[in-house]
Copies of this chain bind each other. A is one copy, B any other.
Amino acid sequence: MAKRAVAADSLSREAVVDRALEIADAEGLEAVTIRRLGVEFGVTPMALYWHVKNKDELLEAMGDRILASITLDDLDASAPWHEQLGAIIHKLVNALRPHPTCTMLAARRIVASEAGIEVSERAFAVLREAGFSVRDTASIATQALQTAMMLITAEPGAEPGVTPEERERRLAEKRRNIERLPADRYPRVREMVDALLDCDDLQEYYDYGIAVFVAGARTLLAAG
């Protein structure tokens, strides 16, 4: 018999982090446990400790892995600074979208991991060369990167780490709750219900969100 497919995910740090991300994507971050990973790899829980120091380190590695998927070399360094800033935020958004339940893990590693520092350096450079002070660059850059995270977690109708049926159930419940509200006290919330629970064009949602932030940064620079 030839080498089994299983051999491909034999135990290794790489494979553990991969599997942990898959579990988080499918069932949510709370489904990621050392013991569960043991079962997945057909191994006792303690075997995992050979490959990761402890669970915290595993979570850090998951965040690092997401940030490491970002490539920056195709950024256009000759574009206007605000376009470059928008492009960086877009990169981050695209890296995070496949792993919405792990947004916080990536956020915590943005000035800690190698890949995160790379992104930060780029954002800082763009803003400094645009003319922002050190202090304002720090503010705008962290806010920019966190805006990417925020757009993911606030995505309308997203119920990450949950089966499609469960997602439908939760959205229907939210809708019922909103529609139960008295129309005289909460006319606007009721008017918003569709826009809040469902998004027909996610690309537009992200573009708009990023545009708001970038426009704000431009105004503040102009205002000095």
Contacts and interface: CB of A to CB of B under 8 A. Distances in A.
Interface residues of A, number: 56
Contact of A124 (B139, B143, B191, B213): B191
A149 B154 CA distance: 11
A124 B196 CA distance: 11
Interface string A130-166: 0000111111111100110111011010000000000
Interface stretch (A19-27, A38-46, A65-73, A173-181): A173-181
Interface string A186-222: 1111011011100000000100110111111111100
Contact of A136 (B137, B154, B208): B208
Contacts of A186: 117, 121
B211 A220 contact: yes
A205 B135 CA distance: 9
Contact of A134 (B121, B195, B223): B195
B178 A154 contact: no
B150 A188 contact: no
A120 interface: yes
Output the residue of A124, A136, A156, A214 with the most chain B CB within 10 A: A124
A97 interface: no
Nearest to A143: B209
Contacts of A209: 139, 143
A107 interface: yes
Contact of A188 (B128, B205, B213): B128
B135 A174 contact: no
Contact of A216 (B111, B192, B205, B213): B213
Top 3 closest pairs, chain A to chain B, by CB: A216-B216, A138-B195, A124-B188
Interface of A: 104, 107, 111-112, 117, 120-121, 124-125, 128, 134-143, 146-147, 149-151, 153-154, 156, 174, 177-178, 181, 185-189, 191-192, 194-196, 205, 208-209, 211-220, 223
